[in-house]
Amino acid sequence: MPTTMYGAESALVGFVFTDAITALGNLRILGTATAAMAVTYLVVGAVADLRRVMRRRRMAKLTAALSVVLFADEEVAAQAAERLVRIPASVLLPVLQGLAADLDGESDERLRNIVFVTGTTRAIVRRLRSRRWRRRVQAASLCPLLPAGDPARTVLLDDRHPIVRSRAAEHLEREDVARSAPRLLALLDDPSDAVRFAAQHALLQGDGRIIEPLADYLREADGPGVVWALEVAGTLRDPRLGPAVEHHLASEHVDRRAMAARSLVPTNDGLLRIRELLDDPEGEVRAAALAAIARPGGEALAAHVGRLLSDRSWKVRQEAGRSLAEMGPTGGLVLRIHLSDVDPYARDMARRVLDDLEAKGGRAVAPASIPRGLDPWEPDGGDHEAEERAA
């Protein structure tokens, strides 16, 4: 192609007539490639649609067959189970995986039976031992289908991959939690936050059965997992944990003191401990102690909680308000008394909590207005916005 030097007009003419073939050639390449990609996209889309429909049908059939096996009377269920034996484990596993966590009682027993009869147990065990972590992740959610008491059910708690460990903890059944409590408690020190959280979740599934190992752990351990164990204790709020938590109440670590405070129960000794913690120098600990009061038995400290409506920390004032709101009539009375508190912060919080209670359908209380210039939430003081609105 010659480089034209005859000015714009002739160059344009040159482009139109001389280079048209090159332009068309380039455009043809572009057009062909675009069309090819478009066709590929449409074909892939159609194939994906087809696969989705087929998978959905297969799953629907399988789920229907499984529901007969799980819920129909024994004779019908036995016939349906025979048909399931012919289905390969790779097809059965994803469906069983979804069911494993959601069944209990007789249906759970039947499901385990299907797993045994269809030879799926072997497939699960193979996955447990797989070198690929993705397969072990799948096995973790299928472990509950293995026979009760089988040590393989908890083997993945010690897996080298953190995602597998966390999945294994997440899917532990209640009886396994009780049996593996010490290992779960050890996982609270795991460097992976995901594993630690899963272990906490699993421990909470164990309810009363983990109290004893948890108490032992709280008495003896001193690692980073103690805070998380105290958080579990704070969620369980079992009075039997009181003695084990006791020495953490005097810990030099603020987070440990706060978590320990949350696990206290407002009865007898617990009430005394909470009262002491309400005077802790750290706001976080005072707030945690207030959270522990917000339940039956806490009314005994209502007047003390009322005083904390004037605390220097917003979090403590807020928690004090919440606790009083939870205390029913006693708390309501204290809140109303503080509507005329000399401290504007206390008045403000009391008024807010009572308004909240009223908005949520509780007892109606006429809000006391804060005198002009004393409203701490307005930088220049006063309720001037209300006046502006009125104007």
Partner 1 sequence: MSTASDIVVGILFLVVAVSVTGQLMLYVSAAFEIRRIRQRDRHQLWRQMLTSPLAPRISVLVPAYNEEVTITDSVAGLLALTYPNLEVVVVNDGSSDETMARLIAGFELSPVHTAFQRVIDTEPVRQLYHSSVEPRLVVADKHNGGKADALNAAINLASGDLVCAIDADTLVASDALQQLVPPFLADSSTVAVGGTIRLVNGARANRHRIEQLVAPSNVLVGAQAVEYARAFLVGRLAWNPLGGNLIISGAFGLFRRQAVLDVGGYEHQSVGEDMELVVRLRRHAYEHGARAAVLFTPDPVAFTEAPDSIRMLARQRNRWFRGLLDVLVRHRRMIGNPRYGTAGMLAMPYFTVVEALAPVLEVLGTVLVIVGLTMGWIEVADLAPVLGAYLVGICATYLVLILDQVVFSTYRTTRDRLRLVGHVVFEQFVFRPTTAIWRLWGLKLFLEGRTEWGVQHRKGFASG
Q: How far apart are CA 287 and CA 278, in angstroms?
A: 8
- Give the pair of three-digit tokens for residue 222: 């001193």
Contact 283, 255 (CB under 8 A): no
In our burial notation (b when 16+ CB lie closer than 10 A, e otherwise), range 250-282 reads ebeeebbbbbbbbbbbbeeebbebbeebbebee
Which one of residues 197, 221, 297, 382 is an interface residue with partner 1 (CB under 8 A)?
Answer: 197
Q: What is the amino acid identity at position 267?
A: T
Binding mask 151-180 for partner 1 (x = CB under 8 A): ------------x---x--xx---------
d(CA 368, CA 382): 14
* Binding flag, residue 297, partner 1 (CB under 8 A): no
Contact segment (CB under 8 A) with partner 1 among 1-9, 114-122, 219-227, 265-273 equals 1-9
Q: How far is the CB of 140 from partner 1 (least distance, A)?
A: 8
**How many Cβ atoms sit within 10 Å of the Cβ of residue 346?**
24
Type and span of the H or E element at 112: helix 105-117
Part of the chain binding partner 1 (CB under 8 A), chosen from 32-40, 207-215, 260-268, 330-338: 32-40
Query: In the bound complex, what is the minimum distance in angstroms from residue 165's beta carbon to partner 1?
Result: 12
Burial class (CB in 10 A: 0-12, 13-18, 19+), 295: middle
Interface with partner 1 in residues 61-90 (CB under 8 A): none
Of the residues 131, 160, 312, 360, which one makes contact with partner 1 according to CB under 8 A: 360
Site for partner 1 in 329-358 (CB under 8 A): 348-349, 351-352, 355-356, 358
CA atoms within 13 A on the CB side of 91: 17
The contact set with partner 1 (CB under 8 A) reads 1, 3-6, 8, 11-12, 14-15, 19, 22-23, 26-27, 29-30, 33-34, 37-38, 40-42, 44-46, 48-49, 52, 97-98, 101, 134, 137-138, 141, 163, 167, 170-171, 192-194, 197-198, 200-201, 204, 231-232, 235, 314, 318, 348-349, 351-352, 355-356, 358-361, 367, 377-378, 385, 389
